[in-house]
Amino acid sequence: MKTYRFFLFAVAASVLVSGPFASAESGWLTDYKKAQQEAKAGNKFLLLDFTGSDWCGWCKKFDKEVLLQPEFKDFARDNLVVVELDFPRGKQQTPELKKQNRDLALQYEIVGFPTIVILSADGQKLWRYDGYFPDGPTAFIAQLQKLRKG
């Protein structure tokens, strides 16, 4: 019985410890303040992805067809600091993460998912897109490049 409890504890601990790093490994952050610092340091845009990752069909479609495409990932690595602001129904989140995401949703007046908000490195809102972006990664990247040119 002790071995079984230890096994369950070890599995739970590994999930809790690896959870925050899973986003970091993919390049997506969940800590807004850390993302702001990285954007300033690298003079990059900050992309805020307000999503319902485990229940929102349009969010899943946008992720699959745009955000997870190699073309977007390559662009993002060089030009963006990307932040997932998730409002899941089944996934667990810390109270601090829930509060951060809720506060940012209020600040940017988010009323639906997905919503993308682009900020300059100094925090100025440059662009917002509400809903699913239907034109694929090339058109999405082109829109982001227009922001850089002014």
Output the pTM of the full model.
0.83
**Residue 38, domain member (yes or no):** yes
CATH number of residue 125's parent domain = 3.40.30.10
pLDDT at 87 over 70: yes
pLDDT > 90 in the chain, percent: 79
Q: How many CB atoms lie within 10 A of CB 98?
A: 14
Q: Tell me what the mean pLDDT of segment 105-119 comes to.
A: 98
Q: CA 72 to CA 138: how far, in whole Å?
A: 8
Classify residue 128: in a domain, yes or no.
yes
Domain that holds residue 29: 17-149
Provide mean pLDDT across the span 22-38.
82
Q: For the purposes of burial, counting CB atoms within 10 Å of the CB of 69, is it exposed (0-12), middle (13-18) or buried (19 or more)?
A: middle
Mean confidence (pLDDT) of the chain:
87
Lowest mean pLDDT among 4-18, 27-41, 59-73, 118-132: 4-18
Q: What is the domain count for the chain? A: 1
Beta bridge partners of 80: 45
Q: How far apart are CA 12 and CA 44, in angstroms?
A: 36
Return the pLDDT at 1.
55
8 by DSSP, 3-state: which? Answer: helix
Res 94: pLDDT? 97
Taking 60 as the threshold, does the pLDDT of residue 40 lie above it? Answer: yes
pLDDT at 27: 85
The per-residue pLDDT for 148 is: 84
- Which value, in Å, is the radius of gyration of the alpha carbons in the chain? 17
11 falls within a domain: no
Residue 109 forms part of a structural domain: yes
Pairing relation of β-strands 28-29 and 80-86?
A: parallel
Residue 39 lies in a domain: yes
What residue type is assigned to position 74 of the chain? D
Tell me which residue has tokens 């845009």.
Answer: 45
pLDDT at 74: 97
pLDDT for the residue numbered 36: 97
